[in-house]
Amino acid sequence: MRIYFDHNATTPVDPGVVQTMARILAEDFGNASSVHHFGQRAKAVLDDARSLVATLIGAEPSEIVFTSGGTESDNFALRGVADALEPTGRRHLIASSIEHEAVLTTFKALARRGWRTTLLPVDSTGIVQPADLAAALADDTALVSVMHANNEIGTVQPIAEVARLAHDRGALFHTDAVQSVGKIPVDVKRLGVDFLSLSAHKFNGPKGAGALWIKRGARVTAILTGGKHERSRRAGTENVPAIGGLGEAARLAAAKLTTEGPRLTALRNRLEEAILARVPGTAINGAREPRVPNTTNISFEAVEAESLLIALDLEGVAVSTGSACSSGTLEPSHVLRAMGLPSPRTQNSIRFSLGAGNTEAEVDFVVSKLPALVEKLRSLTGARVRG
């Protein structure tokens, strides 16, 4: 038996999406820029997908630019705004300190090009404080980037409030919504942002497809240049099957958003409460609310997270120690560190992220295995933990 509790890393592709993509691969091979019948068939796939993605986030189809995924969307927003606003004299960028690497590393690259960058702190529960943004904003701030939901701990940031503050100072606002789109209702107008990144494979779509939502009129320069694809905002022949899959995943996600959210919340809470009750020396990292329904990040005192991850995998349970993108490094999670957690706790945290296929029986199985595994790992290092 295999149990998959790592949906924030990626999700299984919905069978409906597989079917859609298989059909497109087999039948709609045309280049969407071609005038003829074959091109029109491919273009129709893109049009459908554009409408479906727009519907999912409350946007207009023309505001959706398809990309290869979340990382490209983040790069597009950050680099594209930097390029567009450089001539205006704006030279300052702000992001939260718990952003995904796609934002943080791009920030570093822009800093090397002469941009001033400010990373906003978060409180001990992993939430950005609007007052910190207000203090950080400058007259030449070009862009503020704050993620909607955090990938490691699931906390949802007060986007509408911080976006307003940014706009008051004439700055643009980007949110990386890769971990919220498809999990909770996301409406670009309510959020009041200018750019929003999303990725298909985080909500049962394929890898290699995503989008950047660009509010009509928002200033941004293309970073992939070439032909006139995506109305000259993103050059390169469109990955039609993957984009078709993104559209179908968006349709499916929108249809079950109101039922799946509460179901996952209940499942996650069941897991969380059982672990806290049955495994001594455990604690939840980050605010319990507001949080995406599927995520919990738990510290196991005196347990090396990597060892627990492997022990769980050998029992057939897939979890992660944080971001899949930072596995293989010894760096403690930058998210947990930004929250001010002491260093042992940043090294012994496990992320459980649930998704569509998960059941109560699976949660109960994991809960039944954990106490003994944790106890064994602790006994090997001679650690004593009081309940």
Partner 1 sequence: MRVVVAMSGGVDSSVAAALLAREGHDVIGLSMQLYDHSDREGGVRFGTCCTIDDLHDARRVAARIGIPHYIVNFERQFADTVIANFVTEYSSGRTPIPCVHCNGDLKFATLVARAEGMDAEFVATGHYARVDLDPETGRYRLKRGADPARDQSYFLFTLDQAQLSHAMFPIGHLDKAVVREHARELGLDVAGKPDSHEICFVADGDHAAFLERQAPMAGAGAIRDTAGAVIGRHEGVHRFTVGQRKGLGLSSPIPLYVVGIDADANSVIVGPKDALERTELTASGVNWISGVGPESGFRVTARIRHRHREAGATIDPRADARVHVTFDEPQTAVAPGQAVVFYDGDVVVGGGWID
Footprint of partner 1 (CB under 8 A): 306-307, 310-311, 313-314, 328-330, 376-377, 380-381
- To the nearest whole angstrom, how small is the minimum distance from the Cβ of residue 206 to partner 1? 22
Residue indicated by tokens 């990597």: 306
- To the nearest whole angstrom, how small is the minimum distance from the Cβ of residue 250 to partner 1? 33
- To the nearest whole angstrom, how small is the minimum distance from the Cβ of residue 377 to partner 1? 5
Of residues 283, 302, 318, 325, which has the active-site annotation?
325
Beta strands in 104-147 (DSSP E): 116-120, 141-145
Contact 230, 210 (CB under 8 A): no
- b (16+ CB within 10 A) / e for 211-237: bbbbbeebebebbbeeeebbeebbeee
- To the nearest whole angstrom, how small is the minimum distance from the Cβ of residue 310 to partner 1? 5
- 258 vs 329 by CB, closer to partner 1: 329
Strand order in the sheet with 349-353: 282-284, 295-300, 349-353
- 47 vs 306 by CB, closer to partner 1: 306
To which H or E segment does residue 70 belong?
Answer: helix 70-85
- To the nearest whole angstrom, how small is the minimum distance from the Cβ of residue 23 to partner 1? 30
Contact 117, 107 (CB under 8 A): yes
325 catalytically annotated: yes
- 23 vs 108 by CB, closer to partner 1: 108
- 189 vs 376 by CB, closer to partner 1: 376
To which H or E segment does residue 3 belong?
Answer: strand 3-4
Contact 157, 128 (CB under 8 A): yes
Nearest to 266 by CA among 294, 297, 241: 294
Contact 66, 260 (CB under 8 A): no
- CA angle centred on 48, ends 42 and 54, rounded to 5°: 135
- 22 vs 380 by CB, closer to partner 1: 380
Would you please indicate which residues are annotated as catalytic (active-site) residues?
325
